[in-house]
Every structure is written in C-alpha cells, then in structure tokens.
Amino acid sequence: MPIYSFQKGVGVESIPLQVHPYAKKMMTARKYVPLWYFLPDAVTKAKDRSKDSLVGSHTVRASPNAIPDSRLSWPQVMRAKSAFLNTLRLGAWPDDHISMFAAFYINMDMHSELQEQDGDQVMAHYHAEMRLAWYDAMERKEPFDLSVISNRVLAESRREIVKQRQEKTLKDIQAATALMEARVDAKLQKLSQITSTPPFPSPRQSSGKARQTPYPSTSPRKASRQPDNPNFQRSFRDLNQAPLTRCHRCLGRDRHDVRHCSRTSLWNRKRGVTCKWNKQGFLEITSGTNAGLELCADWQRRNGCTSKAHPEKHRCSGCTSSSHGASSCPEGE
Ligand SMILES: [Zn+2]
Ligand SMILES: [Zn+2]
Ligand SMILES: [Zn+2]
C-alpha cells in the first residue's frame, strides 16, 4: 500500500456510516423505517448477507428479522438513535427537522418519567407511538413539533405498560398455581399407589369409555415404561418394602403372582377358590348361581368402586358376597 499524505489538523467528521440498505432506501425517500434497522445487529446481518452473493441488491427489501419500534427496549432505542439521526441527511431534510428529531431523543432521555418504575418501558412505548404518528402527520401534510413531549400520550403509554405488567403477573400466578397443583396431584397419586393398590401399576385409563379397569397383565418392568405412569418404578420399590397386598383370588398375603394366581384353594386351604381369570383379564365366578359372572376389579381394591353402572359385578372375588370386596373379605389373610 502506498503512503498518502494527509493535511495536519483535518480530521474526519464521522466514520462513514454503515446503514442497512433498506433503511438507506427509505431514509432517502424520507419514509418511515423501524428504528431496528439502525441497531448494530441489523447492519451486521445485512453485511453478512451481501457478502454471500455478488449482487447485494436483494438486501434492499425489508428484513424479515425487523422488530417494530413498539417491541424495542429503551436501551435499544438509545443505541439506534445516533445512526438514525446521522442518516436523516440522506433525505435532505431541512436543518429544523433534523434538530427537531435530535431534540425528540434528548427530551425523552432527560424526562423524569425514566426515574419511575418501568419508566424505560413507558418511554420506549411513547417513542414508538410518537415517531410513527409524526410520519403519519407528515404524510397528511400536518406535521407537528415532535420534540415537545406530549404528556397525554405519555400517560397513555404508562397505562398501557401497567396493563401489560398486570396481565403478565396474572399469567405468572396462573402458571405457578398449575405447577403446584400438578405436583400435589403427583404426590397424591403416589400415595394412593402405596396405600391402596395391589403390587402392580395403577391400570391405564381406557380411552374415554367408563369401562371398569382390568387387572394389568403386563410385567412391572414393562408397565414402568408407560408414559402416563412415570412414578411407577419408585412406587413399586416402595411397595416391596410395604406389607404385601392381599390376593383377590386366594385372599393370601404371601408373595406369589397375584395377577395370575393359580391356586385351587384359599390361602388357608379351608375351601376352594371361587373365581378364575377370564380371557379379558378379569376374575369370573366359576360356580353357583352367579357362575360366569365377571367381577369388577376396582370393587376388590381397598378404595372400592364408585360406578353405579354395574352393581351386579360388585361381589367379592374371594367368597362371592356382595357386601364387600376382596380387600375386606373376612376370610382373607
Ligand atoms: Zn392368590
Ligand atoms: Zn365396579
Ligand atoms: Zn369375601
């Protein structure tokens, strides 16, 4: 690179501006352009894109990443304002207009509103409303002095920000409440598994229909993978330490496969069992007047069954009595 001489004492007035091509186009036409285009981010993005292709003209279109003024933060407004003010000269605005815009930013930045709670957000909102309003008024050929702070618009901006904040607080509270309820539900579900059900996972809800729940035939390992029962693995371990639940068929509490109990007599061998497993996985009475009757599985559990849809199925699978379920059968262990 050859050495060029410079004249001593003559500096550069400002670093030649890097402006987003779309902003350049709009500013030259004296049209409204979102302040986002004057943020360093927007300029960098436009430069990256024009490097990709030899023809940079496609960047003259509006950027899909552009953010409306109403969503800029106050620090972003302050960061973008200098580039905006410097670019005004592209539109060959008279000096009056350029100083009015400069005073617009200075007067906002000096305003006492910024010391208030959420003052930043209020001022960013005010900026967005006023700048757009000024360009609108200009198009209607009735411009006003933008540098004069409008207390009415400022008060409206404050009301809007307070409203947004209240809505957000309400949403946060609702989300926190929902989370808490979900946790309580999970705890209750775990508790009820430990205290009331036989040592297998709570049966899956059958889709929609209020059908009684069968005895699950899946192994515990497989059942633990069911997405609707993530706590099962843990509760199953807890249950192994708890007293064993009574078998609904032989009424015994000793360790055996209660889902497929194949004993022919009760746990104490006092008499034969009264039920067998049917193909649907339910216990079914094998003899007497109710032979062939499939029994309600929930009815046998400690919590019982609240359904009124099948009163005939509410009989003990240990002794066929309709006064109780297997969990409270007097003949049980
Ligand atoms: Zn049994
Ligand atoms: Zn029932
Ligand atoms: Zn009974």
**Domain count within the chain:** 2
Q: Does residue 285 sit in helix, strand or coil?
A: strand
What's the 323 CA to ligand 3 centre distance in angstroms?
Answer: 8
What is the structure's pLDDT at 222? 42
What is the structure's pLDDT at 202? 47
Q: Residue 261: inside a domain, yes or no?
A: yes
Structure tokens at 45: 């993005």
ipTM: 0.88
Q: Which chain residues have CB less than 5 Å from ligand 2, an ion?
A: 296, 299, 305, 307
pLDDT, tens digit (0-9, with 9 covering 90-100), for 71-129: 999 999 999 999 999 999 899 899 999 999 999 999 999 999 999 999 999 999 999 99
What is the number of the ligand closest to the CA of 303?
2
Q: Residue 196: inside a domain, yes or no?
A: no
What's the 317 CA to ligand 3 centre distance in angstroms?
Answer: 7
Are residues 251 and 123 located together in one domain of the fold? no
What's the 239 CA to ligand 3 centre distance in angstroms?
Answer: 24
The answer to which of 150-159, 212-221, 269-278, 310-319 has the lowest mean pLDDT is 212-221
What is the structure's pLDDT at 108? 96
- Of the three residues 143, 158, 173, the one that is the final residue of a domain is 158
Contact of 291 with 211, CB cutoff 8 Å:
no
Q: Is the pLDDT of residue 227 over 90?
A: no
What's the 308 CA to ligand 2 centre distance in angstroms?
Answer: 7
What's the 225 CA to ligand 1 centre distance in angstroms?
Answer: 26
What's the 296 CA to ligand 2 centre distance in angstroms?
Answer: 5
Q: What is the Cα–Cα distance from 229 to 201, expressed in whole angstroms?
A: 8
Q: Residue 62: inside a domain, yes or no?
A: yes
Q: Which residues pair with 294 in a beta bridge?
A: 284
Q: Residue 209: inside a domain, yes or no?
A: no
What's the 327 CA to ligand 3 centre distance in angstroms?
Answer: 8
- Mean pLDDT on 228-244: 47
What's the 325 CA to ligand 2 centre distance in angstroms?
Answer: 10
Helix then strand count (H, E) for the chain reads 9, 2
Q: What is the Cα–Cα distance from 94 to 138, expressed in whole angstroms?
A: 14
Are residues 142 and 257 located together in one domain of the fold? no
Neighbours of 201 (CB within 10 A): 22
Contact residues for 212 (Cβ-Cβ < 8 A; gap 6+): 282, 296, 297, 298, 305, 307, 310, 313
What's the 279 CA to ligand 1 centre distance in angstroms?
Answer: 18
Q: How confident is the model at residue 243 (pLDDT cuts 50, 70, 90)?
A: low
Residue 317 dihedral angles phi and psi, to the nearest 5°:
-80, -5
Q: What is the Cα–Cα distance from 52 to 55, expressed in whole angstroms?
A: 9
What's the 321 CA to ligand 2 centre distance in angstroms?
Answer: 14
CA angle 112-116-120, nearest 5°?
85
What's the 224 CA to ligand 1 centre distance in angstroms?
Answer: 23
Name the nearest CA neighbour of 34 among 20, 44, 47, 45: 20
Q: Residue 266: inside a domain, yes or no?
A: yes
Between helices 119-139 and 95-110, what is the axis angle to 10°?
Answer: 160
Helix then strand then coil, in percent of the chain rounded to 5, is: 50, 5, 50
Q: What is the 8-class DSSP label of residue 284?
A: E
What's the 245 CA to ligand 2 centre distance in angstroms?
Answer: 19
The tally of CA atoms less than 13 A away on the side-chain side of residue 249 is 23
Query: What's the domain range around 122?
Result: 21-158
Contact of 248 with 326, CB cutoff 8 Å:
yes
DSSP codes of every residue in 252-282: --SSS-TTS---SB-TT-SSB--EEE-TTS-
Name the nearest CA neighbour of 77 among 112, 126, 30, 29: 126
Are residues 138 and 252 located together in one domain of the fold? no
Contact of 259 with 218, CB cutoff 8 Å:
no
Q: Which chain residues have CB less than 5 Å from ligand 3, an ion?
A: 316, 318-319, 321, 329
What's the 193 CA to ligand 1 centre distance in angstroms?
Answer: 20
- Mean pLDDT on 221-240: 44
What is the number of the ligand closest to the CA of 264?
1
What is the number of the ligand closest to the CA of 311?
2
Are residues 32 and 147 located together in one domain of the fold? yes
Q: Residue 238: inside a domain, yes or no?
A: no
- Of the three residues 132, 158, 184, the one that is the final residue of a domain is 158
Q: What is the Cα–Cα distance from 283 to 261, expressed in whole angstroms?
A: 10
Q: Residue 241: inside a domain, yes or no?
A: no
Q: What is the Cα–Cα distance from 165 to 119, expressed in whole angstroms?
A: 12
Over the Cα atoms of the chain, what is R_g?
39
Are residues 45 and 144 located together in one domain of the fold? yes
What is the number of the ligand closest to the CA of 320?
3
What is the number of the ligand closest to the CA of 277?
1
Q: For residue 274, count CB atoms less than 10 angstroms from its CB and return exposed for 0-12, middle for 13-18, buried for 19 or more.
A: buried
Contact residues for 265 (Cβ-Cβ < 8 A; gap 6+): 250, 271, 272, 273
What is the number of the ligand closest to the CA of 249?
1
What is the structure's pLDDT at 196? 57
Q: Residue 115: inside a domain, yes or no?
A: yes
What is the number of the ligand closest to the CA of 304?
2
Q: How confident is the model at residue 238 (pLDDT cuts 50, 70, 90)?
A: very low
- Of the three residues 99, 127, 158, the one that is the final residue of a domain is 158
Neighbours of 95 (CB within 10 A): 7
